[in-house]
Structure formats: structure tokens, C-alpha cells
Amino acid sequence: MKHISVRVALAFSLVCLVLIVTAALLLYASYRRAIVNEKYEDLRAVYAESARLIREHAAGVISDTELDASVDLVSRVGKCKIYVLRFDPAEVETAVPEGLGIRTREIQGDLLLIAEDKTVFRELVYRDNNDAPYVFYGGPAPLLDGTGAILIYTSAGQMYTDVASAATAISLGSGGLVLIAAVLVFFVADRLMRPLRQMTQRARLLAQGESVADVPERAQDEIGALTRAFNYMKTRVIENENARQEFLASVSHDIRTPLTHIRTSALGLKEGWLPPEMHERAIDMITDESLRLIEMTNDLIETARLQSGPMELRLSVIELCTLLRDTAEHCPEPDQVVVDCAASYRVNVDESLFRRVMTNLLDNAFRYARPPVELSGWKENGICHIQVRDHGDGLPPEELERIFERFYRVKAHTNQQHGSGIGLHFARRALELHGGTIEARNVPDGGLEFLLSWPDTLDGL
């Protein structure tokens, strides 16, 4: 069974079958008991009428002939056999006459009960010589000359025929209900599972690199939530793939440009077609572009290292203010960086990761915004903070939510030569490894501000 809808339908049908069979058995038992009770009331009425006739006969109201005719009429109307016996309780073994047509091995005990002025009702105790079941009702007979008993027998065949018919109807009805329920559940389950099948099919296509449409959202339940999550995931996968392709194109361009500059300068020096006054400039070009390639390669290596899974931080205790000032001194325009870190705070961090994070933030500030750039560092309530602020135009709110995604590049910057879309993602990952966060927000009076926060593990030192 490949389809879960089939399994759900079968499981539900099994549960329904158990419940319906249980209900059917209870209904059968109730119906059977109702029929038996009805038969009991009928025989009790026959007994009461027979006892009345016997009392009237004993009082001389009716004759023997009238008694026989009345009892015969009552037996025909009640569809039963009526016997009136006179017996001695001490000799019940000989009290039942031959030819009664009913097996008499149990009647002696019932006669003793009747002798004690009790009535007896038996459902399946008595059978005839053909083993056909009889329903029995017996009670004392109001005779004037000795102990008497009124014995009433009626065939149980019709009663049990009615019970069997009811059982058959209940069984057929139960089976029909189970079948209808199974069909309905199958269609309902199939409808519920349809989004899952669509998600499975489109996930396979998405894994093959094909573009797929959203799965229609049909309900506001758990499957609807899963559908929304799948559509969101699909959108992000496509966006990440597009960003990856843009990243590869950008990195290819960024690598090709410095390599072209290096090759051109090297050929000019080797083949001698560069004039002597440009030799130093060519050497500087080779040096600068080589450093640029090294930095780009280091960024890629560090990002891959952070994304490869759990990594061990190389923690060391350093001065927070020293970290900020050293980063500022090695940025493109150190005189345009304002460092605000009055106290000598000490932090326990991976210095290499933090220096690269700070370098990326400062490079972005000078590349895409306007100086001056403000660096601030402090501790508060067990949390270490670093704030980096530029004085540019800021970013649209929708860009602020995505600048930390891997390979994402701000739309206004996509045509610029620099920027690979991994620097801010690297920064967020580095802070996460330290148990912290990095946030970006637009400053009301102009500029973009980054706030780095992570737990202080040195108890405020």
C-alpha cells in the first residue's frame, strides 16, 4: 500500500468495524431481551387467564365443557400449549403424564417451586422430542382438592427466527455502514493527502533544479501550515539558488579583474613595453590585487569553515578597546574612524573571527556609505556590545531583513565591483558561535548601525 490515504481508510474502517460490531452485539442483545420479555408477558397473561378460568370452574361459574373450550381458545390465541396438573409434591416424579411431548427431566424441580406458590419462566430449558426449543411458564393452579400447576409451553422457533432476522439485518446494516465509512474516509483522506503528494512531487523537481509553482493552500490546519512552510522553503531555495548563481558570477568577475590586472602588469614588466616611470605603479598593482585575492580567498575559506558544521572556537582573553583600535588602524581610512571605548573591558572571544567581522563591517561602511564611522564598545548586564555606525543613506526595511543571508547582496550594490554577499553572513555566524547576535537598523538622523551582542563570560572584567 503506497498511498497513506488507503492505510488511513483501512485503519479507520477497522476501528469503525470494531465499534459497529460492538454496538451491533449490544443492540442484538437488547433486541433479544426485548423479545424474550415480550414472550414472558404474553405467557404470563395466558397463565393469568387460565388461572381465572380455573377459579371460575371451581366456583361453579363455568362447566367442564366450557372450561375445556375456554382453555383451548386461550391456547390458540396465545399460540401455546396449556396443561393443568394435579400432583403430590412428595411424588413429583410421577406427576407428569406420559405423552406430554416435552422432555420432562427438568420439570420436577420446577413443580417443586410451583408447589411453593411460585411462578417459573424458562427460556431454553425445555425441548421436544425433535430437540426443538420451547419457552416455558408455570405457576400454581387454584384447585380446591389438592396441589395443582398450570404449565404453558410455546415454541421458541418464531421468537428465534425474529432474533435471527434482526441479527442479519444488524449485520448487513453494520457492514454497509463500514463500507460507506471506508469509502468516505478514503476520499477525505485522499483529499487531505493531495497537498502532501504535490509537495513530494515538487520537492523532487526542486531537487533537480527545476522551477515549480506553489502548492495550493486548501485549509488552515496542520497540513495548511506544512503547505505554507513548503512554499516558503521553496521560495527561499529558489532565492538562495539565484543568489548562489549571482555570487558565482560576482566572484568570477571579482577574481578575473585582479588576475587581469596582475597579468597585464606582469607582462608589461616582463616584455618591457611598460615605460620605466610606470614600473613602480605596476608593482603596486600586482601587490594590491594579490592582497585583494588573498582577502577574498580567506573570506571564502572562513565562510566554508563556519558552514561545515560544529567548529571549535580558539578563545582568548583580549582587550575590547584594543580590538576596536587595531581594527580601525588597519581600515582603508583610519583617520575617519571614531573609537569610543573608555574602559578597559576584557572579553573572551575568538580573536581571529572577531577581527575579520570588524574588518568586514568597516570595509562595508567605507565602500557603501559615508564617513565618519563610529566604533563603540561596552558591557552591560552581563552582555558585551560592539556598535558600528556609518553616516550613509541606510537601507530599505525589506533589505534590513535579508542582508545577513548567505550570498545576498543589496540591490543598490549589485552593480558595484566589490562585495560577494558573504561578509555579513559570516559576521552573523561568528556571533552565533559565541552565543550572540548581530542586528542592523537605520539611524533616524541618517546612517546604518550594526549592534553586536554576546554573553560576557568573564563576569564583567
Residue bearing the bigger pLDDT, 60 or 28: 60
How far is the C-alpha of 454 from the C-alpha of 324, rounded, in Å? 16
- Grid coordinates representing 227? 503547505
**What local confidence, expressed as pLDDT, does residue 461 receive?**
56
Same structural domain, 71 and 119: yes
How far is the C-alpha of 141 from the C-alpha of 149, rounded, in Å? 5
Say yes or no to pLDDT of 103 above 60: no
Residue range 279-306, pLDDT digits in tens: 888 888 888 888 878 877 776 776 666 6
For 354, the enclosing helix (H) or strand (E) is helix 351-368
**What local confidence, expressed as pLDDT, does residue 1 receive?**
41
Q: Give the CATH number of the domain where residue 232 resides.
A: 1.10.287.130
**What local confidence, expressed as pLDDT, does residue 419 receive?**
52
In Å, how far are 183, 305, 308 from 301, measured between CA atoms? Answer: 58, 6, 10
Q: Give the CATH number of the domain where residue 146 resides.
A: 3.30.450
- Grid coordinates representing 424? 555579513
Query: Residue 206: inside a domain, yes or no?
Result: no
Residue 276 DSSP code: G
For 459, the enclosing helix (H) or strand (E) is none
Residue range 170-211, pLDDT digits in tens: 778 777 877 787 778 777 777 777 887 888 888 888 888 777
Question: Are residues 48 and 138 in contact, defined by beta-carbon separation less than 8 angstroms?
Answer: no
- Grid coordinates representing 233? 522553503
Query: Residue 205: inside a domain, yes or no?
Result: no
- Grid coordinates representing 45? 397473561
| 341 phi and psi angles, rounded to 5 deg | -155, 85
Residue 173 DSSP code: H
Q: Give the CATH number of the domain where residue 373 resides.
A: 3.30.565.10
Same structural domain, 301 and 321: no
Same structural domain, 374 and 253: no
Query: Residue 253: inside a domain, yes or no?
Result: yes
* Lookup result for grid cell 487531505: 192
Query: Residue 109: inside a domain, yes or no?
Result: yes
Same structural domain, 289 and 327: no
**Where does 116-211 have alpha helices with state H?**
157-207
Same structural domain, 47 and 145: yes
Same structural domain, 131 and 19: yes
| Mean pLDDT, rounded, of the chain | 80
Q: Which of these three, 307, 325, 345, is where a domain ends?
A: 307
Question: Are residues 364 and 331 in contact, defined by beta-carbon separation less than 8 angstroms?
Answer: no
Query: Residue 207: inside a domain, yes or no?
Result: no
CA neighbor of 292 nearest in space, from 253, 234, 321 = 253
Same structural domain, 332 and 294: no
Residue bearing the bigger pLDDT, 352 or 178: 352
How far is the C-alpha of 46 from the C-alpha of 150, rounded, in Å? 10
Same structural domain, 299 and 319: no
Same structural domain, 124 and 31: yes
Share of residues in the chain with pLDDT > 90 (%): 11
Q: Which residues pair with 134 in a beta bridge?
A: 126, 155
Residue 95 CB partners (closer than 8 Å, separation 6+): 85, 87, 88, 108, 111
Put simply, whether the predicted model's pTM sits higher than 0.75 gets the answer no
Tell me the helix, strand and coil percentages in the chain, rounded to 5.
60, 15, 25
Q: Which of these three, 260, 287, 307, is where a domain ends?
A: 307
Say yes or no to pLDDT of 214 above 90: no
Query: Residue 217: inside a domain, yes or no?
Result: no
Domain that holds residue 129: 4-162
Same structural domain, 61 and 149: yes
User: Which of 9-13, 71-75, 119-123, 284-288 comes out lowest in average pLDDT?
Assistant: 9-13
Query: Residue 361: inside a domain, yes or no?
Result: yes
| 240 phi and psi angles, rounded to 5 deg | -65, -40
Same structural domain, 268 and 329: no
Same structural domain, 346 and 262: no
Domain count, the chain: 3
Question: Are residues 13 and 185 in contact, defined by beta-carbon separation less than 8 angstroms?
Answer: yes
**What local confidence, expressed as pLDDT, does residue 424 receive?**
86
How far is the C-alpha of 172 from the C-alpha of 164, rounded, in Å? 12
Residue range 393-421, pLDDT digits in tens: 888 888 887 888 876 777 655 444 455 56
Q: Which of these three, 111, 136, 162, is where a domain ends?
A: 162
Question: Are residues 192 and 223 in contact, defined by beta-carbon separation less than 8 angstroms?
Answer: yes
Query: Residue 171: inside a domain, yes or no?
Result: no
